[in-house]
Structure 1
Amino acid sequence: MLMASANNSNVDNFNVMIEISMKGSVKYEYNEKTRCLIVDRFILTAMQYPCNYGFVQDTLAEDGDPLDALVITPVSIQPGVLVRVRAVGLIRMEDEAGKDNKILTFPLDKVCREYRFIRSIEDVSPLLLDNITHFFEHYKDLESNKWVKVHGWEDKSAAEKELSQSGERFKNQRKEQQ
């Protein structure tokens, strides 16, 4: 699987690599060395991902992994696929490994016209936000020594800041490795 270079400077147009499809119950992780998706674990709770889940290429979040992204679509997207998205918000979270924020995204209008009117977190259904929050608060409940705490939703500017900082962190790490 080849990784395409991402343009992370524009919160309104960037790539997300899908790791887990909406309605999936298998946690996949992208492995840089093998350049493949690896089964990390099966979710033990009777829950499924409420949306597509992936990461923003060429970023480094505070947990040491690429920045996580939630991609809202009308159907599930195959793992291993890139999708062009725009960010509308951010969910602040932490888990047993530390901060684990995720940006909330929607496909570009060219990709999916259904969500063309959603431009900010205020445009997103509160029920959808509640479903996502509930999922992340409980999907690790049956796993030993694992937990998640959701601190809440923030707006597009918070997502833009997180995206920018994660991109800078990635660039700085690359410079240090050279």
Structure 2
Amino acid sequence: MSKQKEQSITVLIESPKGYRQKFDYEPESGRIKLSKLLPEGLMFPFDFGMIPETKGEDGDPLDIIVLAETGTFPGCLVDCRLIGALTADQTERDGKQIRNDRYIGVSEVSRQFANIKTLSDLPQDILPQLEAFFENYNTQAGKKFRVLERLETEAAYKLLNK
């Protein structure tokens, strides 16, 4: 296994597993702010946050979903290993199209996902469910989210470091 695959990254959780609330980190204040509520029946399947000191095409830090058996809390820093990414196009409400990839990590303290090193190691139902969540989440916000490709660990690190 290459060094790159073993590299740990620290992420900031914005919206925890099981929450309907969507929180966003505000760099100006250094605080977490409630930005919206997801519709009834829709909640984050795992902790969702961002990779500090990065910037995506949408101008925000890169998004990451962190797999673990329990959720944390808004503002929690979590060390995790990157296991892959979903490259995606997002069509905004105004019709503008941007890349808005989603990285997938595993919490370093997770026991349930301790042996997951790549997307291929995941139970086969998790990725389609994550993709459906992101598609539905964006549809509810008046946007369209389309997964282009699933990247395994090494390709995800290359994209992250780009």
TM-score range, shorter chain: 0.7 to 0.9
Give the 3-state SS of the residue equivalent to 1:135 in structure 2. helix
Query: In the aligned structure 2, how far is the partner of 1:11 from the partner of 1:136?
Result: 27
Q: 2:45 aligns with which of 43, 46, 50?
A: 50
Q: Residue by residue, what CA displacement relative to the aligned partner does 1:54-108 show, whole Å, maximum 9, x if unpaired?
A: 1111111222111111100101111100000000110111223411101110012
TM-score normalized by structure 2? Answer: 0.87
Cα deviation per residue 1:20-58 (whole Å; 9 max; x = unaligned)?
001111111110111111111111363111111011111
CA contact (8 A) 1:52 1:72 kept: yes
Measured on the aligned residues, the alpha-carbon RMSD in Å equals 1.8
Tell me, what secondary structure is at the counterpart of 1:139? helix
SS of 2:125 mapped into structure 1: helix
Query: SS where residue 161 of structure 2 aligns?
Result: helix
Unaligned runs of 5+ in 1: 1-8, 166-178
- Structure 1 ranges of 4+ moved more than 3 A: none
Q: 1:82 aligned to 77, 91, 98, which one? A: 77
Match of 2:15 among 12, 16, 20: 20
Query: 2-side partners of 1:157 and 1:84: how far apart?
Result: 18
Aligned to 2:160: 163
Instruction: Go from structure 1 to structure 2 and tell me whether the alpha carbon gap of 1:80 and 1:10 turns closer, same or farther (over 3 Å shift).
Output: farther
Structure number having the greater strand percentage: 2
Match of residue 103 from structure 1: 103
Q: Structure 1 161/12 Cα, relative in aligned 2: closer, same or farther at 3 Å?
A: same
Helix, strand or coil at the partner of 2:156: helix
SS in 2 for 1:23: coil
Pair 20,11 (structure 1): closer, same or farther in 2 beyond 3 Å: farther
CA contact 1:29–1:37 (8 Å) conserved in 2: yes
Q: Which runs of 5+ in 2 are unaligned?
A: 93-97
Task: Give the C-alpha shift of residue 112 in structure 1.
Answer: 2.4
Instruction: Indicate conservation of the 8 Å contact 2:5/2:82, yes or no.
Output: no
- State the distance in 2 between where 1:142 and 1:116 align: 33
In structure 2, what is the Cα distance between the partners aligned to 1:106 and 1:36?
24
Does the CA contact (< 8 Å) of 2:83 and 2:117 recur in 1?
Answer: yes
Q: 1:153 aligns with which of 140, 150, 153?
A: 150
The answer for the alignment partner of 2:128 in structure 1 is 130
